[in-house]
Amino acid sequence: MEFSIKSALGFGWETFKKRPWFFIGATLVILLAYIAVGALTGLIDLALTGGDAENPSHLGSLLDWLIGTLISMGVVAFYLHAHDNPAGVTLSQLWHPKPYLKYLAATILVGLTILLGLLLLIVPGIIFGLMFMFTSFIVIDRELGPIDAMKESKRITSGHKWPLLWFLLVLALINLAGAIALVVGLLVTVPVTSLAFTHAYRVLAAKAGLESVPVDAALKPIS
C-alpha cells in the first residue's frame, strides 16, 4: 500500500465512524488527564511561588513534563491499538508506561535536534522534524532505544519528506477548523487526524520493511 494524504485521512475518518462515541470519549479522557496534571502542577506552583503565574516553579514544570510524557505514551499506544484493532481497543490502552525512560530520552533528543535545526536558519529544523516524526511511535511500538528509533524514523521517512510536510499541514488545518467550530469540533478532528497519522506510520513502516515484531503483541499490525 502506498502512502497518500487522501488514503490516510480516509482511513482516519472510516475508522472513527466505526465507534464515534468511543473515540470522542477517549479524547475527553485524554483532555481531562492533561487538565488534571495542569491543575496539580498549578497547585504546586501556587504553594512554591505564591501564585506568580509568570514564574512557575521548577518542580511544577518538571512534574508537568514528566507526567505529560506518561500521558503522551498512552496516547501513542492507544492509537496504535485503535489503528490495528478498532473494534477491540479499550480505554485501558491509554495506560502504557513502558518503556518510559526510552521514550523520555527520545523526546529530549528529538526536541534538541529540531531546536538545533531551527537555530540553523529554520529549514534544517523542519527537515529534522519530518525526519524524526515517527520516533515516539517506534519507541512504543518496538521498544527501541532513542537513537535506534530515530534511525528507523529517518529510514522510513526517507523519500517522503514533501508528502509528509503537506500531510502535517493538512492535519493542522483540519484541527484548526475543529477549534474554530466552538472547540467541540476537536472531539472529532483530533481522533480522525490521530488515526490518519498512525496510518501514515504503519504504511511507511511496512513500505520500508520495518519488521512487524512489536514487543507488545497487542500492537502487532493486522496483516
Tell me, letter by letter, the H, E, C secondary structure of 195-222. HHHHHHHHHHHHHCCCCCCCCCHHHCCC
Which residues have C-beta within 8 Å of that of residue 198, sequence separation ≥ 6? 79, 80, 82, 83, 137
Task: Using the CB atoms, write b or e for 168-179: b if 16+ within 10 Å.
Answer: bebbeebbeebe
- pTM of full prediction above 0.85: yes
Q: Rounded distance, CA 15 to CA 120, Å?
A: 40
CA distances from 215 to 63, 134, 144, 185, 186 (A): 28, 17, 9, 35, 32
What are the grid coordinates assigned to 180, written together?
A: 474554530
Q: Rounded distance, CA 39 to CA 184, Å?
A: 21
Q: What is the pLDDT along the chain (223 residues), one digit of tens a residue?
A: 789 999 999 999 999 999 999 999 999 999 999 999 999 998 988 888 876 667 788 898 999 999 999 999 999 999 999 999 999 999 999 999 999 999 999 999 999 999 999 998 889 999 999 999 999 999 999 999 999 999 999 999 999 999 999 999 999 999 999 999 878 899 999 999 999 999 999 999 999 887 654 445 445 554 4
Question: Residue 194 has what pLDDT?
Answer: 98
Helices 146-157 and 123-131: angle between axes, nearest 10 degrees: 100
Q: Rounded distance, CA 32 to CA 24, Å?
A: 12
Q: Rounded distance, CA 106 to CA 101, Å?
A: 8
Helix/strand/coil (H/E/C) assignment for every residue in 175-197 = HHHHHHCCCCCHHHHHHHHHHHH
Q: Rounded distance, CA 97 to CA 75, Å?
A: 11
3-class state of residue 24 by DSSP: helix
Q: Rounded distance, CA 154 to CA 28, Å?
A: 32
